[in-house]
Structure formats: C-alpha cells, structure tokens
Structure 1
C-alpha cells in the first residue's frame, strides 16, 4: 500500500532511475546476463509500458485492499458449508466467492480506469513529454498540450468534452452495476 502514498513525480523519477539504460539497476543486472536494456524513452511502445508500470505501481496497493476487503466479506457460514459438503476449493471460488465479489471487482475496474486516465498524466509530463512523436501521449496529455503549449483552445475544449463524456459513461456504468446491485440485496 505504501506506493499509493508516494507522489507520482517521485514514482516517475524513481522508475526513470531504475530503468535508466546506462546506469540503472535493471541495466546493470541485464549487463551481468549479457543483455542490454533498450532506450525505452525513444520507443513509444516501451515508454507506454513503463508509464503503465508506474501507474500500476501507484494504484496496486489501494486496489488490493479493496479486493481483499471484498474477499473478507464472504460469509463464513457459506465457506463452512462448502467444506462440509466436500466441494473442491476451485469450485467454491468459481461459484461462490467470485459471484459475491462481482460488484467490488467491477468497482475496482472502473476506479482503475479513472485513476489510470488521471495518474498517467504526471509520468508522461515528467519522463517523456508525450514523445517520441506523441507515441506515449494520451487524451489528457493532448488536452494539456493543445491548451497550454500550442494554444489551440478549440482542440483542447473538444478533447476535454470527449474525456468528460468518457468519465460520465464510466460513472453511469458504476452506478448501474455496482450501486444498483448493492441496493437490490438490502
């Protein structure tokens, strides 16, 4: 859970140092194996992978706590009944635990998407500035770039509205599938 307490700037700088192709610990380890670490900031695909690692590192602990709480909310009498009936553990997980945690898993999915869209801005800004050739950029960074660097406010406004609509759709899905299910069983 500790990485969720760190600033994204600190996380981005830490990963930049760890993944440094010349003097980083990963490059040192790979040199010992006879391999070389490519310059990931010059490759759009590899930069996106490292940026995804940074954001996943940031949200993993919080999502883990939410999912663990969901698993802890499975009634113990149901688990005891499956043990008494000699039901295999994989069957108990597949037929009982997962369906009872479907709403929390969907909530974590929506939260991760929203956090991913929100948190990915800082590593892009700190490490790659959207490069190379906008290969590591996303809609939020393009909105910022159009509004405050290129001064194309019309494009920035359109991108902001599209992003707002995406967030509204995610909010609707969260309310429909998560909030609606919890109220139905009460």
Structure 2
C-alpha cells in the first residue's frame, strides 16, 4: 500500500513530496517578490534604463545623426556646454520656469481649493467646472488663443490698453516678460488637473478642526497655513512634483510654437535646448549632454524634496 494519499486519493510519491516542500520553502518565499517585480523591472529597463544609458553613451561622441561614423570626444561635449556663454542663461531660465510653474500650478490651486472648500458656500460646482475646463483643451489650441488675446497690435489686450492711452508690449520679443507669459499659457492648461487633485486633498481635511479654529477667532490665512496645508500635505507633495516634471515638459509646446527659444535664448530652457541642439543644429552629443544635466537637476530637486519636505508629510487623510 502507498505510504500517503493526497486529497484525490492519488499516491504522494517522493518526487511529489520534494516538489511540495521546495515550493513551500523559505527560498521560494524570498524569490516570490522579485518574480512579481520582474515585469515592471523589464519595462523600466527597456523604456527608461536603456534610453538613459544610450544618452550617456551618445554624450561622449560627436555625431550628427546622419553620418555612419561617430567620433569619440570623451567629455568635450560637457566642456563645450559648460563654457557656452548661453548655458547660464538657459539654466537660469529653467529655474525661473520652475519657480513660476510652482506659483501658478501649486500655490494657486491650493489657495483656490481652500477658498472653494471652506470659504465660498454658493456656486461651488460652477467654479469647479470653470477652473477645470481648460485642462481638456489642447495646449496647441490654448497657445494660439493666447497669441490672439495678447497680440500687441490687434488683440483684445491691445485694444483695452489703447482705451487707457497705453501700448501693449511685444511680449514675445521682450526679455523676462516672455517667460512669464509662456508660463501662464502652460499653467492655464495644467491648472485644472492640479486643482482637482488638490481640491480632493483639501476636502479630506476634517471640517470639525477648521470650524473649531474659526470659532476660536483664528484668521483664515493662519488656518490655511497651519491647519489645511499640513493636513493635506500628502496630496500637496504629489502636486508639487507633478508641477515641476510635467510643467517643464508641457512648456515645450508654446516655446516651439511662438518663440523658438528667442529672443536671444531669452525663453529657452534645458528641455527645449535638448531638442534645439539635436534637431536644429544636429549636435547629438551636446544635446545628450544637456539631457544628462537636466536629469541631474531633477535628481537634485527630488533629493531636496526627500530631505526637507517628505519627512513632514501627513498621510492619515
């Protein structure tokens, strides 16, 4: 007679018992999480790690994307990039874009979410819909709309300025002003999505806590800064990162449509300059070097966020 029988009545032989014990052993339990992560790791390797490694590789060569020969130049592309007189201007424009995008797409949605949740009682649905509406419109269409609105000769802004005896500035050729206008165009498109996410986070703050603070006579600005922002910070940190990463990608469209990085690199940034170096000047090595520096800038920003912001995040809501 067999020594043991399984649930179906079949004999459980030595091989079956060994396999069962092997599948249930501590080694398989340690390997299972890595096996579950393997599909995601493969996708990241194909679509992120390989392109990153290839970009680092291309940054060490002089190549115009046409010639079959790539000339190895080592770190010369990085040296030429850092010694370029326009590099500091492009880097400064990038940091200014980040500051403006955070103001328009992070601070402003927080303020509007607080007002619509705890201050305004009527017309909330209308305001929510109106603020979210631009996010469903194409950024190309929105850029063309702003070009018409801010036309310094025949646009509505010029006509309003003429009523007060003023002239509308030619913003697309004005240093400094062009960055502000392009940031507004991009933020107009992104604001609705960031606003809805922030509104959900602010709406998760306990109403009893806010009402108790108002009964104690605490002003609204202190309630906003000391109660609402800390208690919705888990959502806020997501919107913060999204505003930087997605904003610098979205801002490429109005730059490419309106200014092409001008005047005199006055509206260019690191991401647009990667495209400019690669597809306008055919300097693939320099474009790759700019891409690596841009990635390093993102890493620095994330490290600063993890060190100074992430530790104070409130996740309970």
Secondary structure in 2 matching 1:44: coil
Give 1:30 shift: 0.6
Map of 2:148 onto structure 1? 17
Q: Which of 166, 188, 198 in structure 2 is aligned with 1:57? A: 188
Q: Which runs of 5+ in 1 are unaligned?
A: none
Give 1:82 shift: 4.0
- C-alpha distance in 2, partners of 1:83/1:142? 50
Map of 1:43 onto structure 2? 174
Q: Which of 217, 227, 230 in structure 2 is aligned with 1:99? A: 230
Per-residue CA deviation, residues 4-52 of structure 1 (Å, 9 max, x unaligned), is 1111111111111111011101001111111101211221322112101
- C-alpha distance in 2, partners of 1:135/1:92? 40
Map of 1:88 onto structure 2? 218
Q: TM-score, normalised by structure 2?
A: 0.52
- C-alpha distance in 2, partners of 1:182/1:79? 16
Q: Which has the higher helix share?
A: 1
- C-alpha distance in 1, partners of 2:139/2:310? 28
Per-residue CA deviation, residues 69-88 of structure 1 (Å, 9 max, x unaligned), is 1110012343354466x352
Report the number of matched residues.
184
Instruction: Give the number of the structure whose alpha-carbon radius of gyration is greater.
Output: 2
Q: Which runs of 4+ in 1 moved over 6 A?
A: none
Q: Please say if residues 278 and 287 of structure 2, whose CA atoms lie closer than 8 Å, have aligned partners that are also in contact.
A: yes
How well do the aligned residues superpose, as a CA RMSD in angstroms?
2.4
Q: Please say if residues 232 and 314 of structure 2, whose CA atoms lie closer than 8 Å, have aligned partners that are also in contact.
A: no
Secondary structure in 2 matching 1:132: coil
Per-residue CA deviation, residues 121-152 of structure 1 (Å, 9 max, x unaligned), is 00000001111111111111110010011011
- Pair 1:157 & 2:288 matched: yes
Give 1:115 shift: 2.0
- C-alpha distance in 2, partners of 1:154/1:81? 60
Q: Which runs of 5+ in 2 are unaligned?
A: 1-131
- C-alpha distance in 1, partners of 2:311/2:191? 23
Q: Please say if residues 44 and 135 of structure 1, whose CA atoms lie closer than 8 Å, have aligned partners that are also in contact.
A: yes
Q: Which of 61, 67, 73 in structure 1 is aligned with 2:198? A: 67
Give 1:104 shift: 2.3
Distance 1:80 1:45, change over 3 A: closer
Map of 2:111 onto structure 1? none
Structure 1 stretch displaced more, 136-145 or 168-177:
168-177
- Pair 1:30 & 2:161 matched: yes
Q: Please say if residues 104 and 178 of structure 1, whose CA atoms lie closer than 8 Å, have aligned partners that are also in contact.
A: no
Q: TM-score, normalised by structure 1?
A: 0.86
Q: Please say if residues 30 and 37 of structure 1, whose CA atoms lie closer than 8 Å, have aligned partners that are also in contact.
A: yes
